[in-house]
């Protein structure tokens, strides 16, 4: 067995191959051409078609080489870069040194001498709904940012909105601003740009709703108060397959909704949420939880109300988001609809 690590960057890939005895038998820096990984074909000339395994760190540039090897039926994995940070970030850091270090770790991992935090790498088809949902989130953020800029400009220029018309989510209010203050060139152009963002968001939202039409898990999630069609699709685009999580604790840890633990001198202290993993998932769960506790009388709402006097509404919402995420796990794992009781 040979062990291959790839240190992947935008324009190049550094490869290190170890023998079964752990000695370096091949090192090379490959230059990418046209953004593809065809340059790695030379590795096959050196190591053959089988009898090797491949490891690389997660990251934007890891997907093409990962798929290059997976499409050829190779044994390939990605390891979470955060878990290797203390090892690879030394005083003497080079691409070759990183590749050699991780190749040695791959050898130890395959021999069951150490544990590595292996990442789940979705297929191209599984990435499409997530990319679309992420794009929708980006548009929503742009809408929020532009709305704040417009209102700031209007305040500076004493341009007042009538009571009850301050929300730009309503088209009638946006049209009112254009009609009332259309002579303001800057404001007019900002409002037209904002309108284009709303139009793009509406198109993307329809596309999101049409994703995963035959997924029974989406329909199960829609039964949770606070979860609509778009949110259910967004949740499944990030979860992909609930069976890859052994229990609710690992499920919550994957998305960074577990408290930090410090155990020293026989005392255990639980701190704030780790906030590792996908930030979009945590933001989504906070929105879902907020809508749920506002509109539904359930054990989750009761939990939130008990926490509010102790830690305040913001921290209570974050903590309750973890309970909501555990509920999502239970619904998907048991394939049962949500019940308001525990």
Q: What is the pLDDT of residues 124-175, one digit of tens each?
A: 899 999 999 999 999 999 999 999 999 999 999 999 999 889 899 999 999 9
Residues above pLDDT 90, as percent of the chain: 62
Structure-model confidence comparison of residues 102 and 341, the more confident one: 102
> CB atoms < 10 A from the CB of 133, how many?
24
* Residue 76, token pair as written in the block: 């390939």
Residue 248: C-alpha distances to residues 221, 245, 254 (Å): 16, 7, 10
Which pLDDT value is given to residue 221? 95
Q: How far apart are CA 182 and CA 70, in angstroms?
A: 57
What's the rounded mean pLDDT across residues 8-19? 91
> CB atoms < 10 A from the CB of 338, how many?
20
Q: What is the pLDDT of residues 192-250, one digit of tens each?
A: 999 999 999 999 999 999 999 889 999 999 999 999 999 999 999 999 999 999 999 88
- Look at residue 269 and tell me whether its pLDDT is greater than 60: no
- Look at residue 101 and tell me whether its pLDDT is greater than 60: yes
Question: At 274, is the pLDDT very low, low, confident or very high (cuts 50, 70, 90)?
Answer: low
Which pLDDT value is given to residue 275? 66
Residue 224: C-alpha distances to residues 119, 231, 288, 322 (Å): 29, 11, 9, 15
> Tokens 């606070």 identify what position?
226
Residues above pLDDT 70, as percent of the chain: 92
Q: How far apart are CA 174 and CA 176, in angstroms?
A: 5
Provide the CA 306 distance to its chain's centre, in angstroms: 30
Question: At 90, is the pLDDT very low, low, confident or very high (cuts 50, 70, 90)?
Answer: low
Q: How far apart are CA 165 and CA 180, in angstroms?
A: 13
Which pLDDT value is given to residue 325? 93
> 13-47 as b/e, with b when 16 or more CB fall inside 10 Å?
bbbbbbeeeeeeeeebebebeeeebebbeebeeeb
Q: How far apart are CA 208 and CA 235, in angstroms?
A: 12
- Give CA torsion, residues 322, 328, 330, 333, to 10 deg: -130
Q: How far apart are CA 220 and CA 328, in angstroms?
A: 9
Which pLDDT value is given to residue 264? 53
Which pLDDT value is given to residue 81? 79
Q: What is the pLDDT of residues 316-331, one digit of tens each?
A: 999 999 999 999 999 9
> CB atoms < 10 A from the CB of 127, how many?
15
Which pLDDT value is given to residue 89? 62
Domain borders along the chain are 2-119, 124-209, 216-334
The CATH architecture that domain 2-119 belongs to is: 2-Layer Sandwich (3.30)
Which pLDDT value is given to residue 265? 57
Which pLDDT value is given to residue 272? 64
Backbone angles phi, psi at 286, to 5 degrees: -65, -40
Question: At 261, is the pLDDT very low, low, confident or very high (cuts 50, 70, 90)?
Answer: low
Q: What is the pLDDT of residues 33-89, one digit of tens each?
A: 776 788 888 887 788 778 899 999 998 899 999 999 999 899 999 998 777 765 656
- Look at residue 340 and tell me whether its pLDDT is greater than 70: yes
Question: 3-class secondary structure for the chain?
Answer: CEEEEEEECCCEEEEEEECCCCCEEEEEEEECECCECHHHHHHHHHHCCCCEEEEEECCHHHHHHHHHHHCCCCEEEEECHHHHHHHHCCCCCCHHHHHHHHHHHHHHHHCCCCCCCEECCCCHHHHHHHHHHHHHHHHHHHHHHHHHHHHHHHHHCCCCCCCCCCCCCCHHHHHHHHHHCCCCHHHHHHHHHHHHHHHHHHHHHHHHHCCCCCCHHHHHHHCCCCCCHHHHHHHHHHHCCHHHCCCHHHHHHHCCCCEEEEEECCEEEEEEECCCCCHHHHHHHHHHHHHHHHHCCCHHHHHHHHHHHHHHHHHHHHHHHHHHHHHHHHHHHHCCCCCCCC
């Amino acid at each position: 067995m040979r062990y291959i690590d790839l240190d992947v960057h935008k324009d190049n890939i550094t490869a290190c191959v170890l023998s079964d005895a752990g000695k370096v038998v091949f090192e090379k820096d490959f230059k990418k051409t046209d953004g593809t990984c065809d340059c790695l074909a030379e590795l096959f000339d050196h190591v053959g078609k089988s009898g090797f395994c491949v490891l690389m760190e997660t990251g934007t540039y890891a997907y093409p080489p990962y798929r290059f090897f997976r499409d050829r039926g190779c044994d390939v994995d990605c390891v979470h870069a955060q878990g290797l940070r203390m090892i690879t970030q030394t005083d003497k850091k080079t691409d070759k040194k990183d590749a050699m270090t991780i190749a040695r770790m791959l050898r130890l991992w395959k021999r069951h001498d150490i544990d590595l935090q292996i990442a789940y790498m979705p297929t191209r088809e599984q990435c499409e709904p997530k990319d679309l949902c992420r794009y929708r989130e980006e548009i929503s953020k742009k809408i929020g940012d532009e709305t704040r800029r417009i209102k700031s400009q209007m305040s500076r220029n004493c341009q007042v909105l009538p009571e009850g018309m301050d929300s730009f989510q309503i088209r009638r209010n946006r049209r009112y601003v254009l009609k009332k203050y259309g002579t303001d060139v800057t404001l007019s152009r900002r409002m037209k740009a904002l309108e284009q963002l709303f139009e793009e968001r509406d198109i993307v939202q329809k596309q999101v709703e049409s994703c995963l039409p035959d997924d029974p898990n989406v329909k199960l999630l829609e039964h949770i108060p606070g979860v609509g069609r778009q949110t259910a699709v967004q949740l499944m685009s990030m979860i992909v397959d609930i069976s890859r999580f052994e229990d609710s604790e690992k499920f919550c840890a994957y998305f960074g909704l577990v408290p930090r633990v410090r155990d020293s001198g026989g005392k255990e202290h639980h701190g704030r949420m780790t906030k590792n993993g996908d930030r979009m998932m945590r933001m989504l769960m906070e929105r879902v939880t907020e809508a749920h506790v506002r509109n539904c009388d359930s054990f989750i709402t009761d939990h939130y109300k008990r926490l509010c006097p102790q830690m305040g509404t913001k921290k209570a919402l974050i903590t309750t988001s973890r309970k909501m995420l555990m509920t999502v796990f239970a619904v998907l794992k048991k394939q049962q609809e949500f019940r308001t009781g525990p």
